[in-house]
Structure 1
Amino acid sequence: MLTPENTALVLLAAGRSRRFEGDKLSEPFLDKPLAYHVVTALAKIPFLTRIAVVSDTRLDFAALGYQVEENPDPSRGQARSLCHGVSVAKQAGAEAVLVALADMPRVTAAHVYRMFDAADGAETIVASSDGVQPRPPALFGKGMFDDLLDLDGDEGARQLIRHGHHVVTSPAELVDVDTRADLEELRHLYGLETDGK
């Protein structure tokens, strides 16, 4: 049985933000940097360990309880970051990894617990879905670690999660911020004309 206690949280925070033009994860949203929203949302889930895979960031994930792993070459795509995180999780003796993205500020702990409810052992692949497309957060049992470590490029684990179980939630919860327009739309949703000004 997979539980948070035997699962490593792998937070991917090493993207190059090419479409955003700037340090996306440090951008203010409500009362904190964008990347800290998912950190806060998942803070009370008792994971075995928390791993943040980063690249050239000013954000202090270590102060928030994360083991920080630098991705020396984010240009090789999201799969490289994922491999870094899975390798560390494997060394920690994790039975599973929950992969979350730092640019998804509306993910909730309730949704993550529903993902654990859908897990079924070492071969588990459970992804989130808006009812149309599967996406992170995604949960993988240790039987999938070697497949994850073989991934390459920007596709990340997309092919794997297409074949997994999908836990549907509101599209609003699975919003990810890729561009400044995405962030402005999110701020507008909260009635914020601008943030931090």
Structure 2
Amino acid sequence: MIGAERVALVLLAAGRSKRFGGDKLTQLYLGRPVGLHVVVALEAVPFRERIAVVSETKLDLAGCGYRIIHNDDPAAGMGRSLRLGVEAACESGAEAVLIALADMPKVTATHIYRLLDRAEGPDAIVASSDGEIPRPPVLFGCSHFDELLRTEGDMGARALVKHGHHVVTSPAELVDIDTVEDLNRLIRG
């Protein structure tokens, strides 16, 4: 188990929302912007540091206790945001990073604690799964930081994630919002 106080939370919120057609993170879901659901869900988890990698969102993540890292080239893909977040986590002395996506509004603190409980030391890779496909949120121990700092494009750290442990949760908890149809489906329940 890796305690949350040794882990930097890296919230990736720098996507261009091309498929959505606008800033999806500010769209309302259950009366709150999509991008703030995971923020609120994880606010009581005592992470070492909270880091948000952003490009062009109007969300006030700094006001929610996040150190803001600006991705000035979101077109370079998720790998760039991942690298920026891991660089910031290294500066904080974190022993692990938990990568979460701001467009996943149903993630719970309970699930994050399950990931932390499954993590064992610096070699840990613990991903979420719907029982078929591993995906974020995902935790990486510090022995993987160098490899994460070399990620490029939209594939991010998928190759690493495939080789880690997978903690299964409800597919509903791992839904992410990529299109207006995704958001409408979530609203309809």
Residue 21 (structure 2) pairs with residue 21 (structure 1): yes
How big is the shift at 1:141? 0.4
Tell me the equivalent position of 1:89. 89
Aligned-partner SS, 1:35: helix
Letter in 2 for 1:56: E
How big is the shift at 1:144? 0.5
How big is the shift at 1:31? 1.7
How big is the shift at 1:120? 1.0
Please give the alpha-carbon distance, in whole angstroms, between the structure 2 residues aligned to 1:181 and 1:56.
Answer: 22
Tell me the equivalent position of 1:147. 147
Residue 184 (structure 2) pairs with residue 184 (structure 1): yes
How big is the shift at 1:2? 1.6
Please give the alpha-carbon distance, in whole angstroms, between the structure 2 residues aligned to 1:32 and 1:173.
Answer: 17
TM-score for the superposition, normalised by structure 2: 0.99
Letter in 2 for 1:22: G
Moved over 2 A (4+): none
Deviations for 1:128-169, whole angstroms, at most 9, x for unmatched residues? 000000000000000000010011000011111000000000
Tell me the equivalent position of 2:38. 38
**1:24-173 alignment to 2 at 5 Å?**
24-173=24-173
Please give the alpha-carbon distance, in whole angstroms, between the structure 2 residues aligned to 1:105 and 1:138.
Answer: 15
Letter in 1 for 2:28: P
Aligned length: 189
Please give the alpha-carbon distance, in whole angstroms, between the structure 2 residues aligned to 1:90 and 1:115.
Answer: 20
Q: Any stretches of 5+ residues in structure 1 without a counterpart?
A: 190-197
Aligned-partner SS, 1:140: strand
Please give the alpha-carbon distance, in whole angstroms, between the structure 2 residues aligned to 1:45 and 1:134.
Answer: 23
Q: Percent identity?
A: 60
Aligned-partner SS, 2:121: coil
C-alpha RMSD of matched pairs (Å) = 0.6
Aligned-partner SS, 2:112: helix
